[in-house]
Structures are given as structure tokens and as C-alpha cells.
Chains A and B, each alone.
Chain A
């Protein structure tokens, strides 16, 4: 600005654009309030990620304890009979590191699954982390959504209020400078200021994650950086949206106080209410019975079918034995009619499996409908999209549940095929008129634990995760473009107000 370059030459529009950008950014950086707000955000970001990491460490201890219990159970001798839930087949889920930044559904997913002939038994969610205060799920994502959204919106309102009070924009537009150039430059400058806030907050979050070693999590800086860095994109898109929303409110509402209050109301709606109302609304519109009731219903149905099957086997055996027979004769009859009994059992087990699968399928259908509805409703709010984007990038979003659900259901199917439906030993219950005996029918040799199919821990595909997150970012980008359009329109029609 102090260059001595002479007069009379024309400046190209691009340099005027840069001039406005530099001017606005320079002035913004001279405001102590900006640095105060950014420092406040950074402190909270560092604190939240540090506490989040301690939560992950606590969850990791729980996971390690589960693994130890499982190893101890596996040391016990004996074959796997497949009659009921077997602790040796338990599958424990490790916590996600990304939960330190965006808790998502990591804390609400089961910490382990058990497998039984009547289906999967979900273990409890992880015990609530020790560092959560008053149940508030404080994490980096929530911080950007709430505090970041509020500050960005207020900044947007202040940009317009300041321009209106000083008359700078009116004076600039009185010069032969295109309105679009001024607006685009001012939006770019404001976006750069927001980017600065995001950068500082992310560095603080990274610093918070680096405190992991003392709590027993030895994660490399590169891994943490790869976790934190992609989150800049949804954070920037959302905060720019909130900032331009604030500018639009400032253009619409002439009084500063009214504009600030309106922006706060919109912030409550966008950042607080809608993101949480979407999941609540989905639960109300498509209610899904508790998992426990499903497991109970499946267990009852399966037990009844198997019980009936055992009597059917007894009836079959009784029909093949003439008159009253002692236990030795019955045992001989079992061996003689092994093939028929086996066929009868296979048929009965298949029927029981169909019954259980019908109950499970009905539950899963409702659950998938609920999830799909919640996902659709989340498109109504940029705040919800920010949260989903953060959670997906952190690996704690809905894809985490889908991945584990698929893996667990797949493992249950394999166990059904190889163990539960091919039970090594079956009980035969003879009817009362045939003596009312209970007989053991050894269909095959009971497998050892190492002969039972092993669970394959699902791997998270980072590329797929990024692809899913990209959808949320695209949604945020659409919201941003819409609000830029609205702000441009308001700027053209409202800034120089004919009503003045």
C-alpha cells in the first residue's frame, strides 16, 4: 500500500479483488476479539480431543479385559457342543481411535457379541467413559458444530453490521467497482478467516491427541494427522455456511441486536435442535423393538421348535421299536435308525432356523428403515451433515455399525451351518407311553475349539469411508452454495436499502 508507483495507470479487476481480500483479512487479523475467539475454540478443541483420547484409552482397557476373559475361557478343556451360548466364541470389538475426535456410535455399539443357536446376543455398550462430564458427549465434532457454528455466525453478522455502521461498503459501491467483485472478495476474505480458525483448532486437537502416550495409547503422529486433517473440509464448509448465514441475517434484519438474536435462534435450530431431532424423529416414526426383546423372542421360538423336534425324534424312534423296550434296546435302535433320525433332526433344525430368521429379519427390516430415515432426515440440516461427515471420517459413523453387523451376522451364519444346525449331540425324548426316556443321539464327533470357524475382524476401508464422507461434504457444499446465492441476492437487494 505504501509503494510509490505513480498515478494514472489502470488496475486490473483481479488486483482490486485481491486488494479487498487483503484489506478484509488484514483488518480481521487486527481484531483482538478474533484471536480471543480462536484461542477459546483452540483450548476447547485441545481439551476435547485430549479427554476423548482418555475415553478411548479407557475403552481399550475394557477391550483388553474382555480379550483376557476370552483367553481364560478358551484354556478350559472340552469340545464345542453348540447347545447354547459359548463364552469361548465371544467376539469383542476394539474401540475406534477416531472416537477421540467424534464419538459417533462407537460408545453405543455392543462391546462384544455372543453367538447362540437362536442367534446373535448383543453384549452391552461400553461403560460410559470416565471423563465425560454430566453426560455431555464433548468431542471435536460437537465443538465445531456448537461453539464454532455460533462464533462463525456472529462473525458473519458483525461483518454486515460493521459495514453498515461505517458506510464502507456503500462508499466502495459508489465507485466504479463491480458489486460481484466486492461481494466475492469479502466472502473469500471471511472464508480465509474461518479457515484460520479451523486450522488453529485442528492443530490444538492434534496437540490434544499427542497426549495419548501417557494414557497408554501409542499412536504415531502421522496416524493422528491422517485422522485430524480430513476433518478440516467438513469443518470449513459448515463454518463458512454459518458465517454466510450470519451475513444473510445481518442483511435481512436492519438492527444489530435483532440480527444477533435471529442468528442465535437459527444457530439453535441448525446446530442444536435439528441434528438431534432427526434421529429422535426417526426413532418415533419407525420404532424398533429393543434388541433384548428380539433375542428373547428368537430364543423362545427356537427352544420350542427344538423341544418339539426332540419329541418328534422320540415318536419316530418309538414307532420303529416294537412294544416296550429297555434302554439298551433303545440305544441299539438309535444306531439302527441313525439315518432316519438324522434326516428328521435336519428337517426340524431347518424349520427352527427359518423361524428364527423370520423373527430376526422382521427386526432388521425395521432397523434398516429407521437408519435410512435418520439418514434421509439428516440431509435437512447442515449441522447433522457435519456430524455425520465427522463421524464417518473418524470411523465412528453408521458405516462402523454396518461393517460390524455384517461381520457378526456372517459369522453367526457360518456357526449355524457348521455347528448349531449340525449339532454333534441331540436329545431324543420318548413319549410317555414308550417309557418317557431321554436318549443321547451322537450325530457326529464334537469339534474342538480350533475346528470351529474363526471370526474375521472386519477391516475398515479408508477409501470407502472417505467416499461416504464425501457425500456429506457434497451436501454441505450444496448448502454453502445455496446460502452464497441467498447472500448475493440479499446483498444486491438489501444492502443499499431503498427504504432508507
Chain B
């Protein structure tokens, strides 16, 4: 669903973010790009067609983001940092707004509530302003939007920024749940521990160049600290 073929992405200042990268992410798979420079937004921006790679080609469900950005954005839900929720609107109003901007009719409250509950947001937070949400709850709301939009691809930009380890573990479980429904998930992060906990496969980047490809099955078990604690999200 996501295919990068010899892709090089540099900042305008010439800093390499991704150099000659080849990767593909299939449906139902979670792929993590891990490196100290990968959390920058330019990676996801390029995948969404906001900027072009310096070399190589990108295909998202067969579409090039550079030439068909609208089609790509229709297929992709991007979970970004900051979350992009309007602080003064309630959680439900934020979701309704995003769904309407997506070109859909405003979803019913029960549909929104169901998506939020599936993502483990406590009911009491549904009608609170987004400004009151914790960073973890913001990610949960973004994941609920991904569920409602039912897009086949999920891009997560530095998803553990500002999260406690316990919350990161919870997020890993939620992301894997979404992947289990057939979505392809690409994560850009500098959190190797989170990447190990959530991804099926991944690559470690050094100065943008992939230096190590890894598979979940080849790695030792995730440390216990990344297991969700009892009563999490209640």
C-alpha cells in the first residue's frame, strides 16, 4: 500500500532526512522508521504530497502524492504532532469538523462515541474542550478519526512525543488494533522502544540512511514496562 523506491528527502538546508530508502508497507502491517531525524514533519508532508522527494518515487495505493495529493489524502489518515485539534472545541465537535472537512456528512453522536470508546477515551471527556486533553488522549481522538474515516492507511508522525511510557504502551496496542483491521501503518519516530513494541518491521536510519532493517519476529520480547497497566484508559 505504501512503497518508497530509492527515496531521498532533504530539508531545504540540505540536511538528509531519508537517503535512498526502499521500503514497502502492506495492508495490516505496521512499519517503523526509527532515527533521530525521522520525527520531523517533512517525511509525512512528503507522503501527503506537500513537498516532493529529491530522488526516487513514492506510491500510496498506487498514487503518487506529488501528482495526486488529493487521492492520497483521501486514503490516508495522518496522526500528527501537535494533534491539530481545535483547543476550544469539544472532542465531539472536533471530530465532526474533521469529518465534514473530509467531505462527509457530520457523523451521528453515537458513531463518534463508539469510535472514541473503541479507542479507550473515557466517556466523560467526550464533551470536554480539546484543550483539556492530555497528549495521549489527543492521540486517541486522532485514532478515533482514523476509525471513522476508515482509511486504509495510517501515518503516525512522532506519536510518542510528550507521552509517558505507560501511555506509549497503550498507544502501541491501539495502533496494532487498527493494523489488525487491515490498515497499513507507517510510523516515523525516534523512540526505538515504542517502535519495537508496535511495528512488525522497521528500519533504523543514521543521518537518513537506512543502516538496519529489522523484523519484530527477530527481536527479543518487548520490556515489561511497555505492557499496558490495569485499568488503563478507564
Q: A166-B82, A499-B11 are in contact. Are A176 and B42 (CB under 8 A)?
A: no
The answer to whether A166 and B85 touch across the interface, beta carbons within 8 angstroms, is yes
In the complex the two chains form, what is the Cα distance from A2 to B48 in whole Å? 30
The answer to whether A27 and B105 touch across the interface, beta carbons within 8 angstroms, is no
B45 at the interface (CB under 8 A from A): yes
In the complex the two chains form, what is the Cα distance from A11 to B107 in whole Å? 12
In the complex the two chains form, what is the Cα distance from A51 to B198 in whole Å? 70
B196 at the interface (CB under 8 A from A): no
Q: Which of B18-46 contact A (CB under 8 A)?
A: 40-42, 44-45
B111 at the interface (CB under 8 A from A): yes
B71 to chain A: which residues have CB within 8 Å?
176
The answer to whether A30 and B103 touch across the interface, beta carbons within 8 angstroms, is no
The answer to whether A167 and B80 touch across the interface, beta carbons within 8 angstroms, is yes
Among B91-99, B117-125, B167-175, B205-213, the stretch that binds chain A is: B91-99
B197 at the interface (CB under 8 A from A): no
In the complex the two chains form, what is the Cα distance from A256 to B100 in whole Å? 30
Contact code string A1-33 (vs B, CB < 8 Å = 1, else 0): 111111111110101100110010001001000
Q: Which of B78-95 contact A (CB under 8 A)?
A: 78, 80-89, 93
A499 to chain B: which residues have CB within 8 Å?
11-13
B78 to chain A: which residues have CB within 8 Å?
171, 174
B112, chain A: closest CB distance, angstroms: 10
A500 at the interface (CB under 8 A from B): yes
In the complex the two chains form, what is the Cα distance from A384 to B73 in whole Å? 45
Specify the chain B residue showing the minimal Cβ separation from A2: B109
B48 to chain A: which residues have CB within 8 Å?
174
The answer to whether A498 and B104 touch across the interface, beta carbons within 8 angstroms, is no
A174 to chain B: which residues have CB within 8 Å?
44, 48, 73, 76, 78, 80, 84
Specify the chain A residue showing the minimal Cβ separation from B84: A171
A496 at the interface (CB under 8 A from B): yes
The answer to whether B13 and A167 touch across the interface, beta carbons within 8 angstroms, is no
Contact code string A486-500 (vs B, CB < 8 Å = 1, else 0): 000000000010111
B224 to chain A: which residues have CB within 8 Å?
none
The answer to whether A1 and B12 touch across the interface, beta carbons within 8 angstroms, is no
The answer to whether A498 and B11 touch across the interface, beta carbons within 8 angstroms, is yes
The answer to whether A176 and B74 touch across the interface, beta carbons within 8 angstroms, is yes
Q: Which of A468-500 contact B (CB under 8 A)?
A: 496, 498-500
A432 at the interface (CB under 8 A from B): no
The answer to whether B81 and A500 touch across the interface, beta carbons within 8 angstroms, is no
The answer to whether A10 and B104 touch across the interface, beta carbons within 8 angstroms, is yes
A496 to chain B: which residues have CB within 8 Å?
41, 45, 50-51
B114, chain A: closest CB distance, angstroms: 12
In the complex the two chains form, what is the Cα distance from A499 to B11 in whole Å? 5
B108 at the interface (CB under 8 A from A): yes
B132 at the interface (CB under 8 A from A): no
Q: Which of A141-187 contact B (CB under 8 A)?
A: 165-178
The answer to whether B96 and A167 touch across the interface, beta carbons within 8 angstroms, is no
A-B pairs, top 4 by smallest CB distance, nearest first, are A171-B84, A167-B82, A167-B84, A176-B73
| Residues of B in contact with A (beta carbons under 8 Å apart) | 11-13, 40-42, 44-45, 48, 50-51, 70-71, 73-74, 76, 78, 80-89, 93, 96-98, 100-109, 111
A-B contact pairs, 20 of them (CB 8 A): A1-B106, A5-B106, A8-B104, A10-B104, A13-B103, A166-B86, A167-B83, A170-B84, A171-B78, A171-B84, A172-B98, A174-B44, A174-B76, A175-B101, A175-B102, A176-B102, A496-B50, A498-B11, A498-B42, A499-B11
16 additional A-B pairs beyond A171-B98, A172-B98, beta carbons within 8 Å, are: A1-B96, A1-B106, A10-B105, A13-B103, A16-B103, A19-B100, A166-B84, A167-B84, A168-B84, A168-B86, A171-B78, A171-B80, A176-B73, A496-B41, A499-B13, A500-B45
